[in-house]
Amino acid sequence: MYLEREIMTIKTPDWVKHAVFYQIFPDRFAKSEQSQATVYRSPKLEPWDAIPTPQGYKGGNLWGVIEKLDYLKDLGINAIYFTPIFQSACNHRYHTHDYYQVDPLLGGNEAFDALLEASHQKNIKVVLDGVFNHASRGFFFFNDILENGPHSPWLDWFKIEKWPLSAYDGSLPANYVGWVDNRALPQFNHDNPQAREYIMQIGEYWIKKGVDGWRLDVPYEIKTPGFWQEFRSRVKAINNDAYIVGEVWEDSRQWLDGTQFDGVMNYLFTSPTIAFTAGDRVIMDYVETPSYYPYPAISAREYGTKIQQLLELYPWEIQLTQLNLLSSHDTARMLTIVGEDKASVELATLLLLTFPGAPSIYYGDEVGLPGGLDPDCRRSFPAKSDWDTQVLDSHKQLISLRNQYSALRTGSYQVLFADECVYVFARTDDRQEIIIAVNIGTTPAKVQFPVTKLRSQSDRLLYGSGEISWNDRGDSNQLELQLPSRAGCIFG
């Protein structure tokens, strides 16, 4: 009974349950040439179309994102998750210099203010990346320690072990704690009340500015008891609808108890979905390093089991605000993982857009942008002449259906059939019943099975290709499906 009462108290933002996110890596998505006076210009920028390097900048900026908002609206997007935008000395900006200043290469605070206003005018939410486990060598408080040694007033903000510190010479011990032993990323001492309060105020400041939520980088690294509970309470006190989503790749029950995060980046959905739709097409060189394991190949029955286990892992209120994804800035893009097999991508995207929780499209995936492991997965958004319009059309259709049918957003999830290559499930609510079917096999499939828990007999093809028929069999309906090879469909 206690557990049931706890579950009943969990509340997550309703808007997230109806959101389709678009993840933007700001240096690579869009570059405006119209705001040169307010964007720092550099002659050292890499060519936009060149393969990215670990340290090079392409010069993407927030002014460019503003110019792309109509494109995002047409795609069906209503929320953006930005990887870090704050001042930093790296193209990915996970090495924060100043948490209160948007990077000048991105257009500074002026560009962000304009972006936030323009996004909200188009009913697009904006979620920022909060890198609160570590800062950088250029962060003022840590830089003061480098300059003044043991005389710095900020010593206890970080984890100093010995003297002298070696911030740049790798032949000497760093003598301070950096994330994953990276001396470029000094870790905060979160047990220090002043450092902790500083981070809390950053979280509050940008929510007060109108930001709609925080994606939290490596939040599991912060061990200080009560830290994320306090962060949630202070952020929610300003905006109860603010979205708090953590980057946790594995079982996240300890953070999804209703007192910390509203959801996590749902790699537990990603891995079986790629393993099922792509099977042995997965190129192992692209998936062995990241810790999400989209391999080995699994059958429809195995996929159904993994999905049922995932849906039982967290309360339903949390399931509806998970951030579901196929690719991100930390993984190779799915198109490249599967050897550019478009059918695998379309099948996985179909499952993504019909799964409970908020789907997240990694910029460029919708137009067929390839990319291997970092930094290759962070290529620049391609020119329109290089778009794969077939991939784009399928994304638009699926996003449109999700936005049109409430059952695809908040309806229950019921597996109807799962055997060998065919997986069939239903999303239902009080008004709608939607049936989704996929055949991952290389030959057409015909399956027949009883359906007892659906009220209607959905037979209108909403997406894809396939045939459906119903036959009454006493106390149940017999559903027959004919599916092309390597294809999926939606009936409503």
Residues with catalytic function: 217, 247
Residue 10 DSSP one-character state? -
Write out the two tokens for 377. 């997965």
Q: What angle do CA 406, 409, 410 make, to 5 degrees?
A: 85
Cβ–Cβ < 8 Å for 206, 128:
yes
- CA separation (Å) from 17 to 25, 344, 367, 370? 23, 26, 25, 29
Q: Cα separation of 352 and 462, whole Å?
A: 16
Write out the two tokens for 213. 């939520």
Residue with tokens 């002659």: 43
Q: Cα separation of 451 and 448, whole Å?
A: 10
Helix (H) or strand (E) holding 263: strand 263-264
- CA separation (Å) from 285 to 61, 147, 274, 378? 32, 43, 15, 17
Q: Cα separation of 313 and 72, whole Å?
A: 32
Residue 22 DSSP one-character state? E
Cβ–Cβ < 8 Å for 345, 335:
yes
Residue 254 DSSP one-character state? T
Write out the two tokens for 74. 């047409």
Burial readout 427-443 (b: 16 or more C-beta within 10 A, e: otherwise): bbeeebbbbbbbbbbee
Write out the two tokens for 473. 């069999």
φ/ψ (deg, to 5) at 278 = -95, -35
Helix (H, G, I), strand (E, B) or coil at 180: helix
Amino acid in position 291: S
Residue with tokens 């070696």: 166
Residue 296 DSSP one-character state? S
Q: Cα separation of 199 and 197, whole Å?
A: 5
Instruction: Please report the sign of the dihedral spanned by the C-alpha atoms of residue 389, residue 272, residue 442, residue 423.
Output: negative
Q: Cα separation of 244 and 264, whole Å?
A: 8
Helix (H, G, I), strand (E, B) or coil at 98: strand
Write out the two tokens for 179. 């994330």
Residue with tokens 């105020």: 201
